[in-house]
Amino acid sequence: MKFICEKENLLKALNSVIRGVSSKTTMPILEGILIQTNENEVKLTTYDLELGIEYVIDCEVIEQGNTVVTASMFSEIIRRLPDTDISITLDDKELLVIECEGSLYKLATMNPIEFPELPKIDQENSIKLEQNILKDMISKTIFAVSTETHRPIFTGCLFEIKDNKINVVAVDGYRLGWKQKALEETVNDFKVVIPGKTLNEVNKIISDSFDEIKISVAKNQALFEMERCKIVTRLLEGEFLEYEKVIPKTYETRIRVNKRELQECFERVSLISMSNIEKERKYPVKVEIDIGKIVISCKNQAGDAKEEIFLTTEGKNLEVGFNPKYFLDALKAIDDEEVYVEFGSSLSPSIIRSVEEVGDYVYMILPIRIQE
């Protein structure tokens, strides 16, 4: 095997496939990158038995072949080489020889026959989206995915195709994020739960562009296909929350507020709330709504904080407590200038939504009981 390629193209491929390398395994082959040549292309593949990534780059292939090399060492060497063409050869001793200007490296390899094949996806159902749309949908929901492994179904996002719309939903038991987008093509209804780990990696690989990405699902696998890259992932099994039934349809109190102003107030008050003076205790931020204004405050051993905003209010006066991180995560995900925050009682879920994207994006957060 021998090929010559531009460092920029090779590094772009490595930065994508490295995300599919297993970090904790007893199988050394899963710590490697499978390198395969095909005419004037080279395909790089990684697979940790849950997430698999393929990336194809154009190269000058002089001699066909394939091998597996340890991913971390190979990628770090390529990253540090000069920005020019790199020659890669598998010699007669099964060493991978890397040459670039005055640099020469030889790496041990593994038998490519031992590298597990990526699952073949029977594309029963599929949709096509612009990459920037998928990136936006993931970004607006992924932070609400659960990190608690005792409820594995909530460690992923629900992808639901219904009435020719795509709904992406994440929930962790304390908050819920939901983003909806209408599809241009008519597709079958289906729903799957994709691991949050996979979606984080997909979000890093895809671009904020109009380039197309195809998402296909089979019984227990999903496939993301782009022009040069394919990502295969297992799906999570179990019953996801019936999210539409838990999102409040009405409210007792509502405010309309400048998002940045509210966000900055919460960030300042959270400096007191999240103080590490008492690491074992969590202090909620108190929100008091009166006619035409909102007061955000927190008081604990670290100190006192109070912020006041004059704004538009509807309904009853109210006092309610929140985990400030959850509130801030939602505000940071909304791009528009103004948001609605809708409240029921001091113990019922509250809704944060964009003023512009009414119905397209909803964030629900459970309050925290305030102890005086």
Residue recorded with tokens 């200007």: 101
pLDDT level of residue 342 (50, 70, 90 thresholds): very high
DSSP conformation class of 284 = P
DSSP conformation class of 172 = -
Is the pLDDT at 280 greater than 70? The verdict is no
125-245, CATH topology level: DNA Polymerase III; Chain A, domain 2 (3.10.150)
Cα separation, 348 vs 368, in Å, equals 10
pLDDT level of residue 274 (50, 70, 90 thresholds): confident
Q: How many angstroms separate the Cα of 368 from the Cα of each of 179, 265, 282, 328?
A: 24, 19, 10, 15
Record the tokens describing residue 262, joined without a space.
């509210």
247-365, CATH topology level: DNA Polymerase III; Chain A, domain 2 (3.10.150)
For the stretch 150-164, pLDDT in tens is 899 999 999 999 999
CATH class of 2-114: alpha beta
**H or E element in which residue 159 lies:** strand 156-162
DSSP conformation class of 236 = P
Are 364 and 247 contacting, i.e. CB atoms less than 8 angstroms apart? yes
Task: Return mean pLDDT, the chain.
Answer: 93
- Report pLDDT for 20: 94
The predicted model gives 10-26 an average pLDDT of 92
Query: For the chain, what are the domain ranges?
Result: 2-114, 125-245, 247-365
The predicted model gives 198-221 an average pLDDT of 94
Tell me, yes or no, if the two domains 2-114 and 247-365 fold the same way. yes
pLDDT level of residue 301 (50, 70, 90 thresholds): confident
More confident residue, 354 or 63: 63
Is the pLDDT at 357 greater than 70? The verdict is no
Is the pLDDT at 315 greater than 90? The verdict is yes
Is the pLDDT at 263 greater than 80? The verdict is yes
